[in-house]
Amino acid sequence: MVGSELARRHASLVLDAGAVALTSSGCRRIATPAFPVTTRHSRNARALLRCKALLVLQGGVYTRSVAMQLRCLNWAGHWIDASSELRHRHNAAILVDPINDRSIMDAHCRGVLSYAGGNCTVSLLLLAIGGLVCYGLTSCMFATTMQAASGAGAPCLATLAMEMRAAAALPLHAMVCGGASGSRCTVACSVTPWVDIESRAPGVSREEQKGATEAAKILGRESSVRLSSLCTRVGVVRCHSQSLFVALRRKATLGGLADAIQSHSRWVLLVRNSRQPTMAALTPAAASGSRAVVVGRLRAHGVRQATLFTVGDQLLWGAVTPVARMLLRTLRTHYRNAGQG
């Protein structure tokens, strides 16, 4: 899915012959001439040694195998990965550039060669409230997530589609009483109250643990912002929704919070907290296919607490967009250095 979205969104991307995107269906040259890499070479590390950059969308198992082989062969190219495999390694940077652009630039200057897209839920959350974090307005936050089926991969989407078709074929009373196919749906018409496997912390899923640890790495050691979450999955195709409770470091007006959220990034769309604009823009259907991270239902509770609701397309800022932007940055640097040489 992520590879298909990359091809659709960046079909016009013109890169040099040493840039290759590795998707679940094999190698895709997003570009030019006669670089002799085909699908059958995607697991042959030696065939990839000539690449200056690899954009990898094949999952963690592929990364564990091929990235290690390439580094053992002294490959000095940039490995840009959409999977979670590299996120917590000390020699890799997580990509959410509207939030941690300075950290990414510092890593690039230090010679870091491995980059990973962030967890989709964490990236969308930080984009939504980046202004509150970067302007020092919040000390901690709690998120209740409603994550899309696509976040669990193609098999979960297939289950969703199958269950929706089965539910649609039933009479209304049968669907209400028995569920699709005579049993309870697992994805459609349902909420999954536990995402991913159990973590080592009692009662905490790995998805919830990832939220805290990845947010800390993205924001940097100097940040004292704490994130906790309760993660669920719902029968939505593309968009993650999150309800946030934010504790503030200091007194702030509702207008001040709104200005901080809206002014921090051009990718954030703040919706006025009234019924008509909320129903028009703050839904998965409205946000699907858009790079805008939509924020609304902003309310102050006293002078040191606030709540809000946010929706964003997890296949874009949650997956494709950060890694594609990093690939462009890497190649611009290469072209600039080549021109100076």
Q: Supply the residues annotated as catalytic.
A: 120, 240
Question: Residue 214 is inside which H or E element, if any?
Answer: helix 206-219
Residues 6+ apart with CB under 8 A from 198: 204, 205, 206
DSSP code of 205? B
If you ran DSSP here, which 8-state letter would residue 91 be given? T
Distance CA 78, CA 67 (A): 10
Residues 6+ apart with CB under 8 A from 95: 80, 104, 115, 116, 117, 118, 322, 323, 325, 326
Q: Return the C-alpha torsion angle 7, 210, 196, 116, nearest 10.
A: 20
User: In this structure, what token pair is assigned to residue 240?
Assistant: 């993650």
In sequence order, what are the beta bridge partners of 248?
A: 138
Q: If you count DSSP H runs as helices and E runs as strands, how many of each does the chain have, helices first?
A: 13, 13
Residue-wise DSSP of 32-59: -S-----GGGTT-GGGGTT-SEEEE-S-
Please answer whether residues 237 and 148 qualify as being in contact, where contact means their C-beta atoms are separated by less than 8 angstroms: yes
